Structures are given as structure tokens and as C-alpha cells.
Amino acid sequence: MDTKSNFFVNISVLYRNTQKYFDRVLAKYDIGSGQLLYLLLIHENEGITMQDTTRFTELDKGTTTKSIQRLIDQGYVQSVTDENDHRVKRLYTTSKTADIMHSIYEMRSDLRAQLAQDVDFLSFESLLNDVCENSRSVNAEETQEEVKTYIQIKIGGLQKTTLIDYPCKVAATIFTSGCNFKCPYCHNRDLVFVPEDYSFLDVNEIMQFFEKRKGVLDGICISGGEPLMQEHLIDFLKEIKKFGYPIKLDTNGNMPDKLKEVCETGLVDYVAMDIKNSPDKYISTVGLNQEVFQLDNIKRSIAYLLTTDIDYEFRTTVVKELHEVEDILDIARWIRGAKRYYLQSYEESENVIQQGFSSYSYLEMQELIAQVKEIIPIAELRGVKEG
């Protein structure tokens, strides 16, 4: 597993290994790594109050009280009532602490030296201080009084012009981040397993682009990932509608209630639902286990689209290793009566979740769609290249 750009994993590994080191070297003093922070803080700030230790460490009051009380019970720390304010308790180290502090500082220096091997550690510490300072704003309350909700939409990509995503229209396609499937042949890996350093597009700039392209674009496609996972999707669609664009929504059908809600707002003009495989093979195609995946969600979305007045299509990306001819025919029978059904060929890319899949030949796809047409007359190939 590549962890080079995985900040969360790396910071957790650093913390855990540091914790294990101190638990090991401090065991002879019956001190754990969780107590060391407080012991150092009190030793270097004799007379500090419990409240100040909580504020300085940014840990909760319960954790602070429990850790310091153990140091008191072990004889390393004493609590003394303030002479001027009897409500305040001040913390001091004892002679027992004085006897071991030199060894503790040596242990800390040894760890730093090991961590600093082949690293510009001074620069790292400086950057880490900056990152920690930035982290303090992560949980700060929202100070802006008025923030448009569509700003919270996570957009991972924009295709400024497409002639195939929205039937019979020149359109632009945005790709929202996040998906509730993990299809191994998906070519948008970063929209599924979103990297911590992923650069999302500025929504305001996207809206400005849509405004400037009025009269040039015929419609907007909302794809993903899975757009229905976006909490403020409806607000975002409303903003797009202000420009007069028809909107096409791509979905995997795993959120039937949200699909119905969005469609019934009247904001969506066309829905494209991916049918991943035949019912018996669905779970193995979407990368989920039985505890998570519910085929009933897919059935409900199909049933809704088959009976709604909204314009729609079903489509399947055909992967040689995942789909046999009979699987595609099972899908066709499953959605019999559909307005449109498209078969698309799998295309290998660097961004696919799992490498090693392949596509059927042009001739094989032609033979396949001919059989599908016997069940769904309005069935076509899309993006299937000859040769």
C-alpha cells in the first residue's frame, strides 16, 4: 500500500510508534506515554493549574484529570492549594520526579535522533508547527453569516465539452467526489478513494463558467462518483437551473429515495442509471460485501425509472472478466420495457481501481447488442470503437 501521500495514515503511524517507544522505555518507572506529556509540562511549569494543563494540551478535562491523578498516586506529582485562592489547585513535581527527569530527557533526545535520520528535521518541525496551528481552525465554528449551500458540493473534475454524455446535446460534465460503490473496473479511482491532498475545483468558478457558456452549451451533466451522496445537491441544481440549462444526472441507483426526491423537484431533466451486472452477480461487481450491499435499492431505482415521466436511460459498461453474454441478456430481461439501454466497452486507464480487465472486441459487441435488441428494441452501443 502506498502511504506517501496519505497524511492521516502517516500521522497515525508516527503517533503510535512514538507512543509504543515511550511505553517501552518508561515501563521501569511505571509511567505510560499518556502521562509523560503531563509530567514534562508540570516539570517545566511548576505551579501550573489543572485548567491550564487542559488548555495547553488541548485534551479533554476527563483525560487530564485521570492522567494527573495517576501521577499523584504514584508520587511523581503533588497538588497544592493556592495560598491566595483556595479554589485553585497548583501542580508540582516531587523529588521522585527529579530523580528520573534526566533519564527521561535522554530518552526523548534518543527518539528524536532516530526519527531525524536522513531527514531535515528542523524543517519538518517548523512545518509541523504550522500544520498544528492550521489544525486549530478545523473545528472552529462557522463565522460567516451567509454561505451558499452549493459551495459545499465537492467537485473533483470538469469536462468542459462533451458530445456523448448528454444525448443530442453539447454539454459540460462535472464529476462529484465520493461513491458508495467500489467497482473494481471504475476509472475514477480518486473520486472513490479520495486522496487527502485532492484538489477540488472551486464551485464559484464552475458557476461562472456555466454562466459564460450560456448559448454555447445545451446542457449540464452531473456525474461522479455518486452525485446523490452530496448533501446539498438540490441547492446546487437550483443554481444551475438559474442559467436555464437542462440537467442530466448520472447515478448508480443505490439511493432510490434520494433519486426520487431529486427527480420530483423538477430540477433534473434526464437520468442515466448504471446497471452493473445481472442480479446474481451484482454484489461481486460493485466491490461491496453482503452486509453493506442491498440489491433491493437497485430494484427500487429501476422500478421508479421504468414508471416515471422523467426521461432516462440504463447503461452497462461491459467488462470481459465480469460479464458473460448471458449476464447482459439477464440485465435486458430485468429492465425490459426501458426507454433506452446502452452498452459501453470497458477502457483500461491509469486511474482504474483494479488493473487487468479487458473489453470485448467490436465484433463481439455488435453480436451482443443484436441479441439485446430482441429484448429491448431501443438498445445501442455507445463509445465502442471499431478495430
> Do 53 and 42 contact (CB within 8 A), yes or no?
yes
DSSP 3-state of 104:
helix
C-alpha 326/C-alpha 339 separation (Å) is: 21
Give the per-residue pLDDT at 85: 82
If you average pLDDT over every residue of the chain, what do you get?
Answer: 91
Model confidence band, residue 290 (pLDDT cutoffs 50, 70, 90) = confident
Architecture of the domain defined by 149-382: Alpha-Beta Barrel (3.20)
| Domain spans of the chain, in order of start | 7-135, 149-382
- Strand order from edge to edge, sheet including 311-318: 155-162, 171-176, 219-223, 247-251, 270-274, 311-318, 341-345, 379-382
CB atoms near residue 156 (< 10 Å): 19
Residues 6+ apart with CB under 8 A from 200: 154, 155, 156, 177
Architecture of the domain defined by 7-135: Orthogonal Bundle (1.10)
pLDDT digits (tens, 9 = 90+) for 242-287: 999 999 999 999 999 999 999 999 999 999 999 999 999 999 999 9
Q: How many helices (H) and strands (E) does the chain have?
A: 14, 11
pLDDT digits (tens, 9 = 90+) for 362-376: 999 999 999 999 999
Give the per-residue pLDDT at 308: 94
Give the per-residue pLDDT at 145: 43
- C-alpha radius of gyration, the chain, whole number: 30
Residues 6+ apart with CB under 8 A from 63: 34
Nearest to 26 by CA among 94, 95, 97: 97
Model confidence band, residue 26 (pLDDT cutoffs 50, 70, 90) = very high
pLDDT digits (tens, 9 = 90+) for 110-142: 999 999 999 898 998 889 888 887 887 776 654
What are residue 381's DSSP bridge partners? 343
**Residue range 188-204: mean pLDDT, rounded:** 89
Tell me whether domains 7-135 and 149-382 share a fold: no
C-alpha 132/C-alpha 138 separation (Å) is: 10
pLDDT digits (tens, 9 = 90+) for 320-343: 999 999 999 999 999 999 999 999
